[in-house]
Amino acid sequence: MEEHIGSRIYKIRKHFNLSMEKFGKQIGISKGSINNIEKGTTNPSSQTINSICREFNVDYVWLTEGIGDDMFISIPDSKIDQLIEDYGLKPEDKWLVRGYLEAPPDIKQQVADYLWSIVNRELAKREKEKSNKK
């Protein structure tokens, strides 16, 4: 029996260990819609398919047709090497860059939140120093 798109979406959701609610929230649809899609009672819209591919770095052909062994798109080394060169990073930073770029959206958000906390702390420190000089 041929696997339907809903079962591939289920695999993606389980790979990231997301509830139907959290998965749906990341792509802009309800928990009930995810449930219906995974059961195969409804098909996802093209917008939903595109959102899944974009948010989770999923291969479009694998998702829509079940062709290929890898559900995820790997970012080519040439693009990462170009970023390393353009920004003067060390060669060993390549794995950090790749890790971030290929991370699921919730992990990227955690990294961004952490970095913003550092920036905000530094900004607050500078504001305090300015007000102390007055």
Report the alpha-carbon distance of residue 89 to residue 131 in Å, rounded: 36
Query: What is the predicted pLDDT for the residue at 130?
Result: 86
Domain-terminating residue out of 65, 90, 107:
65
pLDDT band at 27 (very low <50, low <70, confident <90, very high): very high
Which of the four pLDDT bands, split at 50, 70 and 90, describes residue 35?
very high
**Residue 70 belongs to some domain of the structure:** no
CA proximity to 62, closest of 1, 9, 23: 9
Confidence of residue 2 (pLDDT cuts 50, 70, 90): low
Q: For 45-60, how does the pLDDT look when each residue is reduced to its tens digit (9 = 90+)?
A: 999 999 999 889 899 9
Identify whether the C-beta of residue 41 lies closer than 8 Å to the C-beta of residue 50.
no
Q: What is the CATH number of the domain that holds 58?
A: 1.10.260.40
| Token code pair at residue 122 | 């530094």
Residues 95 and 80: their CA atoms lie apart, in Å, by 9
Q: What is the CA radius of gyration of the chain?
A: 20
Counting the structural domains of the chain, the total is 2
Same-domain pairing of 57 and 94: no
Residue 25 inside a domain? The answer is yes
> pLDDT tens, 73-128?
877 788 888 989 999 999 889 889 888 888 888 888 999 999 999 999 999 999 99
Minimal CA–CA distance to 55: which of 95, 87, 93, 15? 15
Does residue 72 sit in helix, strand or coil? strand
Closest CA to 72 of 117, 7, 16, 134: 16
Amino acid at 28: G
